[in-house]
Structure 1
Amino acid sequence: MSKPTKFSNFVKGRSPSSKKNDKVNVFVDHLQNTRDCKDKISGQTGIIYDERMVEHQCLWDPNYPECPERFTRVLERCHDYGLVQRCVEIQPRKATPEELLKLHTPDRIELLKGTDGSPDAEALEAISSGYDAIYIHPSTNQLALLAAGSTVEIVDAILDGKVQNGMAIVRPPGHHAMKSEYCGYCFFNNVAIAARHALDNKGIERILIVDWDVHHGQATQQMFYDDPRVLYFSVHRYEHGAFWPNLRESDFHYIGSGAGKGFNVNVPLNKTKMGNADYLAIWHQLLLPLAYEFQPELIIISAGYDAALGCFEGEMEITPACYSHLTSSLMGLAQGKVAVVLEGGYCLKSLAEGAALTLRTLLGDPCPSISKVDEPSLSIQESILSVIYVLRPFWKCLQFQGRFDVSKVGSKKEGTYFVPSVTFEGSDVKPTTFATRNCYPVQNRETIDLLDQRLDKLIKETSLAVPKHRLCFVYDERMASHRNVNEPGHPERPARITSIYQKLLEYGVLDRCHRLDARDATREELLWLHKADYIDEIAVTAGKKQSTLNQLERQYGSIFICPDTYSSALLSAGSSLQIVESILSGESRSGIGVIRPPGHHAECDEAYGFCFFNNTALAAKYAIEIHQLERILIIDWDVHHGNGIQRMFEEDPRVLYVSLHRLDIFPLKPEESDCNVIGTGSGAGYTVNIAWPKRGMGDTEYLAAFQQIIMPIAYQYDPQLVLVAAGFDAAQGDPLGGCKITPEGYGQMTNMLSSLAQGRVAILLEGGYNLDSISHSMTMCAKALLGDPLPTPRFEPLNPAAVSTIQRVVSHHQPYWSSLRFHVDLPEGDVLPPCEVNKKLLSIEEQLEQLQLESSAAPSEQPETITEGCVLLMEASGVTEAPPPTTLQELLLLPENIEAMTQGKLFSVVPLSWCPHLEEHVRPDDDTTHWGLETPCSSCQDRSENWVCLSCYQVNCGRFVAGHMKEHHNSSGHSLVLSFSDLSVWCYECDSYVDNKAVYSVKNRLHLEKFGEPLPSAMFG
């Protein structure tokens, strides 16, 4: 973001040091971000992998889905496309103990370490059976360390500027690996470890983790559930909890806790066969709006490819090419700092293709076409609206759905509202042992063959052509000859194009472009859209005196003419055709036209609004007539409505015309330019007018229009070419526009469009009259097309008038575009049940609160509750003796429960059996320490909920009083504390409970005072 520049507001006659009326005005230089990125060009892509990762395999089940071929096939496909050779290879390394201990418990680290090189397959299988869906190989520990360390390494390489972005092709995967539990093929949480490393060591404050693996990354969620520095966004198959991992916490209403509330986003997929349209809707309606508001400094993608077509685990239908689009849309954020980390994916063909196309996108190649997308499914509409409902109190970007009183739902028209609900069809009962063989779905041969044929067809039909030149441009000084002789200061002046040219030169853009020769448009080309009499009328101006031309000007609206006008107009129109030809012939991927006079106001028979021949419209017609294109998207972001382009194509579905403009300024014809004007005849729905009713719209409003309207429609339309009528008079500082778009805002819009039409985008200059603004803005568009890292625009609250305009546009176009199905009313207030507490999701303070709530039941209720718990425990362990204990003390003193306690099995939150801070931070208790149950907090004298520090034996209160014990830890560094309430020991550094013999002595002292008897001797061994 740009840094404010401060200027003191000096009062006349007063010294600068005077304090009276000492006022500072803070100005934000809206061009500073552009200046800061002057020398930032597209960097290299890193890749990290280790051939040893093929060693990890299941010894007792050769058909296990998480197999070595997942790794080898991805690498082979990347080599087939020549991608690995284009990357910077980063050296892999193992994660350090310090990195692992940030998020994993020592006992799980040591357990896996103990399997290193073990030849005992039977023992390895026995250990594996204690965890859900894992196998352990003699090499697993070393390779899990490599996978985690390599993920940290690729993130380091990106943040250190060695590479722009990168991909970690690693296994075993990581996003199911919990703090103290292996799970779902995962041992250490690669992505979470790398994210935590970046937060702790790289000065990063905001990380976006996008998890598109088809299984919910519950472990990553747990690790950052209360941390607002990490926005965790997961799209996963759920089926109301019936799909693995069958957790309530995977549903949409689990949105984080404490300071992290609103920063955990779950998009549950409640049916199979979800496709490209569903995922793109998630991106446009949820992920991108949230990401632009969050403004991440780093993006990490947990890239599982098990939602890809053909995968028997996911049963979804994402095409491999779609992953390119999902990746590309994120590369405009975080200045392009994107790390892709392999997670799942079990159909080898779609896994390899999807991963290779993802890497290809990181390298800057154009997104392959994914054809027209279907209508988003009803199920995904419900999921997206449910997520919006729970998140909109926390995010300013999610404000496009109306509100209604749920008690009056009977008066609502069907289809205009949605009421979210929670359904759980899974089971909360988890087995104590898990299957280790044949524990996965299997497709029959017929299904495999059919899916294989579909994939082969998709791969064959996907064009991966890359033009020789990434960006072409046209500029000719002769177009500066067109000028207003009578009014030299007229805003449409020659310096508009010369200043842009100089800025492109200054920023080194032109050195990276393919320059085209300008040319005149031919008469035949002009006749495609303009009438012969009108062409002749303009042509004869070339030989007339200025006095005669002054008379002619009065026939038109807002026009000036000089003897060089006709020749300049021919060059301007012809140059736009040159760019289109270079793009459609395959010579260049994209282009920019630094041309004038502009064209989008020019009618077929009339010059209008500084325009003579309609450059952008002629470029579209050229593509239709010469290259037989059938679908052309024109985006007109000039602040004035492009009446000429609209009229020329209002009945033609081969051109989708979208205009973002102010309704209250020139040409002042709302009957032609308001939101309800949508085209006529067969062109109905193919004219989209986003008509702002007032001044002041900026980056936030324009990006919202792109996310809510333009990109959903564009993907459904599937253009073969994108033309931008690029007026920059909505830029901040423009004397005519009155809007606030920054250069980086234009860069971001360009970046979004570049994912369409295989990157075939032409930016053709229209208006824009502040020389600084237009030169920097066109330069940022060019840098976006070159793949340079872009600044993220500052997020501001949405202008209510813009929200209303976007809602109006959607309402008029919903009948024509099924992608616009998300603007319905949502309930006011809370209509959902509370989230069931999963203690793995809670911070220490919240866990303590929960324990307090559980232990604060009325005395008459406690014996019954404890008895029920005891009976369940006894039944589970096969104990049938009677009578059961009736107090917590009796329950804890059962011999079998003492044993369970020492083994860590009798805790609602499993404590660590050891932590590295025990030796240093637990001082023996002796007669010199004076404390007890009645000792008040040393800071506030409260006695209701206290802890004692095991280093200095100072007593302080917990979070739910005044949090003085946490303050004591922060100031003293003392890590371990003992609760007066439940005798639990907490380590602040490990962020976990601890139960170890080193603390039993001091526990015993408290136990004596609390219960009148010592701890059972069995606990002391």
Structure 2
Amino acid sequence: MGVLCFQVRPSQAIIVAKREAAKKKNQETPDCCYVRDIYQTAIDSGKMIRGSTGVVYERSMAEHRCLWDESYPECPERFTRVLERCQELGLIDRCKFIEPRFARIDEILLKHSVEHVNLLKATDGCENIERLESMSSKYDSIYIHPSTYKLSLLSAGSTMNLVESICRGEIQNGMAIIRPPGHHAMKSEYCGYCFFNNVAIASEKMLSEGLAKKILIVDWDVHHGQATQQMFYDDPRVVYFSIHRYQNGAFWPNLRESDYHYIGAGAGIGHNFNIPLNKTGMTNADYLAIFQQVLLPMAYEYQPDLVIISAGYDAALGCPEGEMEITPAFYSHLLAPLLGLATGKVAVILEGGYCLESLSESAALTLRGLLGDPCPNVCPLVPPSHSITTTILNIIYTHKPFWSCYQYQDTYNLTSAPGNDEIRHLPQVIYEGDQSKPEFYETRNCYPVQSEIRLNEIHNRLVSLRQTTILARAPHRVCLVYDLRMLKHLNYTEDSHPETPKRISEIFLKHEEYGLLERCHILEGRAATEEELALVHTREHILAIQKTAESKPSELMKQGRDLDSVFLHKETWTSASIAAGSLLQVVDSVLNGESQSGVAVVRPPGHHAGEEGACGFCIFNNISVAAKYATEFHGLKRVLIVDWDIHHGNGTQSILEEDPKILYISIHRYDNGAFFPASKEANYDVVGSGKGKGYTVNIPWNRRKMGDAEYLAAFQQVVLPIAYQFNPELVLVSAGFDACVGDPLGHYTVSPEAFGLFTHWLSPLANGRIILALEGGYNVNSISYAMTMCTKALFNDPLPPLRSTTPPCSSAITSIKNVLKTQRLYWPNLVFQVALPKENVIPEVSTPGFERKIAEEQFKTEKDQIHDLGGKIEKMGLDSPRGCPNESGNSEKKKYERAFNTWRKWRKWRKWRKWRKWRK
């Protein structure tokens, strides 16, 4: 067939437009380029101050209840008890109330069919209990009340109002205390106490209205939110992450699609995460491992602009449906790192939870976390279970092709022999469920019931946990110390020396510029006593520094030349003792309960100073003095020091290497021993000595350029897992910023806002008792912005998203693997260094809900055929094939035999319905 071509002359308007575009292009400078300020994100974040926390609820939601079974677990008390506990803790009054509203039908239709809506609408106000129960029996785990339709609209509408308020910046974050729940409600089927999918509808509305472009849905309800998964399975705009009890398909809803290898389809492949829990009794440690190994690395790579949590609390201790062991206080620890995403835009939407005591406490402590209160201390963590370790490795294996953050497991060929110390894992898909569906579902006594003995045991445990959970808040969120006397320490001979007084004065001014000083509790500096300095230094060293106050400049210069990278001044003693003493002021303020956290803007720095002498610009080891002071004078048993200065804190390590009360973790540039302080003691295989063995953790970098991606990986893979296992009572940060972009000594590219994120991640530890003490950093702009971002993080101000999306470099991955291999001997939660196969060993899967859709269509077709044939047979009055006429021969007889068999099937169908088995 030929092709007809038509020559169309462009319109005059198009010709003019092209001419103007060409003219404009010719006027442009050919070498025109745009330069972005390396501090632009930090500059822009100056106005980002924490907003209010919203809460939405409507007391009429208590009307929805089961009229024929008073013991039904999805009861009004789930709603009222949560509200009561939040009010007891004074949380509701601290929130901004968001008006509830009914969803419009067009909004519901974003994710549900017209028939789905109309069928429920037909029950509105119906008082016929028998009819309501009969209709409920057609759906899995459903009861319908005369108010169900309106309250389902109210739940969905209230969820949308809350989420929209967050997206529009009217509130910072918020919680929807609503019912009925929603995450099991499918497009055209009610399921699992759910009628309209609140979270899915709200997500779709935000996307369609341009209020969000990328959404992360975290579903920690113990039941798989299969409906939410189905609705976004091929949508790359949404990552759906579900942690749910599965038991290889034996637990409700018994779906194959709830397993780990269902990872999304089409454009959304890799965007669906199922974390199937294949045993009961999962603990805080199991959930923490899921977050640290799977969720957080992916989430910070994905960088969503909205986070929605389907917050079911049926994994909480005591719930008869979940049978898990998550303590109520731990939910705030799960929430905390998610608040660092999406500039803090996080919505928590109530789903399930059926132990009223643990449900109400868990939900209340989640709302408390949204309000920015410190995370309560939790019980010491046990190692992750073998079951969850297997699951996590399976998930990393299936998602590794789609995410650059999963690079810390070696690989192997299936045909190769394992190495001597190689541990291998082979992912498997095991299904032990039953996907057949009955014609009618039970509507009464269809839920687990606990014995009185078990109920008393649960109550006693929850009471004990409540009594030992510290919910006190310090009067001051952040204290800050700064003393002008520390400016007097100068270099006599080198005006351009990098350790300059401007380092602290500019930080102080930047805090003032950002309005932080008026928000901080300002402390007066003081000099440390000789007794306090002697906690870590010899008397000889203290006396030598004291004498500098009476020495001549020539004597000081000679004395300084005998030291390693140190200058001395007649004010050195004053400045150095005030630096140490001022940090102790912050320690006292925090540990005495006056302040929640603290910032010490001090100099000279300290972490290179050893027991017997000064080193590397450092006179006294401020952070070691503070750690020892906390254990000796305040009686603490566990203090964590995180040192992110680009130089290894050789002084801190040597002073504390035998102390099991103090865990020292250092991330530093090493360059295979060539970078200052150029000591083999900074390598990953140095772990402490004596009783302190295992309490030194070195993360050495061996490449000249490291940035946000490498430091994020170090925190996610090493720092946070070990820190949580250690469970400190105080966190001290040797906050050097010479790894920050633009530093003349470090030459790394870590952004100022990344340091704020690190601070945010450490803040849930130790009941929020965290103190930052300035160490190095020699670009005054970089350190001013970086420390300011840290202080803002302590105030829970929104954190800007990190701009870097590049994966960690191979050198950093090698370093992290070496650290993990070394430290797993001392920290039992580091169990994920296992080799995974290179080959694909996972069977192909079909789209979730696809089998159900096909089965429904085939069943409908067969049902219609049976109805037609059955009607014909009834009209003919046939009772058996013997009554069929046979004069016309065998062909006619066979025709009626087939018709009779079809009739039998139809009679059977009328008596009971049974869905066909779903195809594998």
TM-score (norm 1): 0.82
Shift of 1:202: 3.4
**CA distance in structure 2 between the partners assigned to 1:596 and 1:838 by the alignment:** 60
Structure 2 match to 1:490: 497
- Shifted more, 308-317 versus 366-375: the winner is 366-375
Q: How does 1:295-310 map to 2 (within 5 A)?
A: 295-310=303-318
RMSD over aligned Cα atoms: 3.0
Shift of 1:32: 1.1
**CA distance in structure 1 between the partners assigned to 2:904 and 2:160 by the alignment:** 43
In the alignment, is the contact (CA less than 8 A) between 2:312 and 2:352 conserved in 1? Answer: yes
**CA distance in structure 2 between the partners assigned to 1:616 and 1:885 by the alignment:** 97
Q: How does 1:728-747 map to 2 (within 5 A)?
A: 728-747=737-756
Match of 1:819 among 826, 829, 839: 829
Shift of 1:562: 1.1
Match of 2:572 among 565, 570, 578: 565
Structure 1 match to 2:450: 443
Q: Deviations over 1:338-376 (max 9, x none)?
A: 000000000000000000000000001000001321100
In the alignment, is the contact (CA less than 8 A) between 1:169 and 1:341 conserved in 2? Answer: yes
Structure 2 match to 1:203: 211
- Amino acid aligned to 1:106: V
Q: How does 1:599-610 map to 2 (within 5 A)?
A: 599-610=606-617
In the alignment, is the contact (CA less than 8 A) between 1:47 and 1:168 conserved in 2? Answer: yes
Runs of 4+ displaced beyond 3 Å: 15-28, 412-415, 836-842, 869-875, 877-887, 894-901, 905-910
Structure 1 match to 2:769: 760
Structure 2 match to 1:395: 403
Structure 1 match to 2:809: 799
In the alignment, is the contact (CA less than 8 A) between 2:706 and 2:750 conserved in 1? Answer: yes
Shift of 1:428: 2.2
Gaps of 5+ in 2: 1-22, 874-878, 882-890
- Amino acid aligned to 2:516: V
**Structure 1 886/118 Cα, relative in aligned 2: closer, same or farther at 3 Å?**
farther
Q: Deviations over 1:610-660 (max 9, x none)?
A: 000000010001101110101000000000000011011111110000000
**CA distance in structure 1 between the partners assigned to 2:892 and 2:725 by the alignment:** 66
Structure 1 match to 2:684: 675
Aligned-partner SS, 1:407: coil
**CA distance in structure 2 between the partners assigned to 1:371 and 1:572 by the alignment:** 35
**CA distance in structure 2 between the partners assigned to 1:575 and 1:658 by the alignment:** 23
- Amino acid aligned to 1:725: S
Shift of 1:431: 1.3
**CA distance in structure 1 between the partners assigned to 2:587 and 2:718 by the alignment:** 25
**CA distance in structure 1 between the partners assigned to 2:829 and 2:679 by the alignment:** 26
Structure 1 match to 2:876: none
Aligned-partner SS, 2:54: strand
In the alignment, is the contact (CA less than 8 A) between 1:233 and 1:264 conserved in 2? Answer: yes
- Amino acid aligned to 1:436: T
Structure 2 match to 1:658: 665
Structure 2 match to 1:615: 622
- Shifted more, 411-420 versus 296-305: the winner is 411-420
Structure 1 match to 2:376: 368
1:638 and 2:645 equivalent? Answer: yes
In the alignment, is the contact (CA less than 8 A) between 1:223 and 1:841 conserved in 2? Answer: no
Identity of aligned residues (%): 53
- Amino acid aligned to 1:454: R
Aligned-partner SS, 1:312: coil
Shift of 1:37: 1.3
**CA distance in structure 2 between the partners assigned to 1:518 and 1:20 by the alignment:** 57
Aligned-partner SS, 1:300: strand
Structure 2 match to 1:552: 559
Structure 2 match to 1:99: 107
Shift of 1:19: 9.6
1:472 and 2:479 equivalent? Answer: yes
In the alignment, is the contact (CA less than 8 A) between 1:215 and 1:245 conserved in 2? Answer: yes
**CA distance in structure 2 between the partners assigned to 1:51 and 1:211 by the alignment:** 25
**Structure 1 896/446 Cα, relative in aligned 2: closer, same or farther at 3 Å?**
same
In the alignment, is the contact (CA less than 8 A) between 1:597 and 1:612 conserved in 2? Answer: yes
- Amino acid aligned to 1:802: A
- Shifted more, 580-589 versus 822-831: the winner is 822-831
**CA distance in structure 2 between the partners assigned to 1:726 and 1:798 by the alignment:** 22
- Amino acid aligned to 1:404: Y
Shift of 1:70: 0.3
Shift of 1:840: 3.9
**CA distance in structure 2 between the partners assigned to 1:480 and 1:414 by the alignment:** 55
Structure 1 match to 2:701: 692
Shift of 1:837: 4.7
Structure 2 match to 1:162: 170
**Structure 1 524/83 Cα, relative in aligned 2: closer, same or farther at 3 Å?**
same
Shift of 1:413: 5.1
Structure 1 match to 2:605: 598
Shift of 1:485: 1.7
Q: Deviations over 1:473-522 (max 9, x none)?
A: 00111111111121011110011001100100000011100000000000
Q: How does 1:696-715 map to 2 (within 5 A)?
A: 696-715=705-724
**CA distance in structure 2 between the partners assigned to 1:50 and 1:331 by the alignment:** 26
Shift of 1:563: 1.0
Structure 2 match to 1:80: 88
- Amino acid aligned to 2:372: G
Structure 1 match to 2:141: 133
In the alignment, is the contact (CA less than 8 A) between 1:482 and 1:562 conserved in 2? Answer: yes
Structure 2 match to 1:952: none
Structure 2 match to 1:359: 367
- Amino acid aligned to 2:303: Q
**Structure 1 283/290 Cα, relative in aligned 2: closer, same or farther at 3 Å?**
same
In the alignment, is the contact (CA less than 8 A) between 1:729 and 1:768 conserved in 2? Answer: yes
Match of 2:656 among 619, 641, 649: 649
**CA distance in structure 2 between the partners assigned to 1:571 and 1:170 by the alignment:** 54
Shift of 1:696: 1.3
Aligned-partner SS, 2:338: coil
- Amino acid aligned to 2:660: P
Structure 2 match to 1:252: 260
In the alignment, is the contact (CA less than 8 A) between 1:603 and 1:644 conserved in 2? Answer: yes
Structure 1 match to 2:634: 627
**CA distance in structure 1 between the partners assigned to 2:593 and 2:862 by the alignment:** 75
In the alignment, is the contact (CA less than 8 A) between 2:103 and 2:156 conserved in 1? Answer: yes
Q: How does 1:311-330 map to 2 (within 5 A)?
A: 311-330=319-338
**CA distance in structure 2 between the partners assigned to 1:222 and 1:621 by the alignment:** 55
Gaps of 5+ in 1: 1-14, 856-865, 911-1021
Q: Deviations over 1:155-195 (max 9, x none)?
A: 01111111100000000000000000000000000000110
**CA distance in structure 2 between the partners assigned to 1:478 and 1:95 by the alignment:** 62
**CA distance in structure 1 between the partners assigned to 2:102 and 2:224 by the alignment:** 26
Shift of 1:872: 14
Structure 2 match to 1:420: 427
- Amino acid aligned to 1:508: G
Aligned-partner SS, 1:205: coil
**CA distance in structure 1 between the partners assigned to 2:206 and 2:693 by the alignment:** 51
**CA distance in structure 1 between the partners assigned to 2:626 and 2:477 by the alignment:** 19
1:727 and 2:770 equivalent? Answer: no
In the alignment, is the contact (CA less than 8 A) between 1:839 and 1:909 conserved in 2? Answer: no
Aligned-partner SS, 1:634: strand
In the alignment, is the contact (CA less than 8 A) between 1:569 and 1:597 conserved in 2? Answer: yes
**CA distance in structure 1 between the partners assigned to 2:692 and 2:777 by the alignment:** 29
1:142 and 2:142 equivalent? Answer: no
Structure 2 match to 1:748: 757
Structure 2 match to 1:940: none
In the alignment, is the contact (CA less than 8 A) between 1:814 and 1:820 conserved in 2? Answer: yes
Shift of 1:885: 14
- Amino acid aligned to 1:831: V
